[in-house]
Amino acid sequence: EAQVTQNPRYLITVTGKKLTVTCSQNMNHEYMSWYRQDPGLGLRQIYYSMNVEVTDKGDVPEGYKVSRKEKRNFPLILESPSPNQTSLYFCASSPIRQGAKSSYGYTFGSGTRLTVV
């Protein structure tokens, strides 16, 4: 089954304790992205990657890191989490438009609800 898998689904952590949220897709998509979702603010992009070793900042990158060492994986790293990073996080992937217009559009993971206390 074509899917984007995020882990964990739920995470409670303490301020300053480094954590990683994993994201993996099995569709051979070039493009991957992380969003956070907060009430009243909708989805805001954190980082995105257009291919292996190619990443760029989205709208709200502060406090986050990413890496793209393999095409299928795109982990989100919080080096020193703070309470304002409490949110619902989504990973998404998509083929690059030029190569696959008919399938262009995001496939989302099920989300990771992070609480930082």
Partner 1 sequence: AQSVTQPDIHITVSEGASLELRCNYSYGATPYLFWYVQSPGQGLQLLLKYFSGDTLVQGIKGFEAEFKRSQSSFNLRKPSVHWSDAAEYFCAVGPTAGYSTLTFGKGTMLLVSP
Residue number with CB closer to partner 1 (17 or 38): 38
Q: Name every residue whose Cβ is closer than 8 Å to that of residue 2 and which is 6 or more positions away in sequence.
A: 26, 27, 107
* Rounded least distance, CB 30 to partner 1, Å: 8
Give the pairing type, strands 87-94 and 107-108.
antiparallel
* Rounded least distance, CB 103 to partner 1, Å: 10
Residue number with CB closer to partner 1 (24 or 94): 94
CB 92 within 8 A of CB 4: yes
Q: Name every residue whose Cβ is closer than 8 Å to that of residue 49 and which is 6 or more positions away in sequence.
A: 31, 32, 33, 55, 56, 66, 68, 74
Residue number with CB closer to partner 1 (81 or 109): 109
* Rounded least distance, CB 10 to partner 1, Å: 11
Residue number with CB closer to partner 1 (34 or 85): 34
* Rounded least distance, CB 75 to partner 1, Å: 18
E-strand spans in 60-109?
65-66, 76-78, 87-94, 107-108
- Residue numbers at the binding site for partner 1 (CB under 8 A): 4, 31, 33, 35, 40-43, 45, 48, 50, 58, 90, 92, 94-97, 101, 104-111
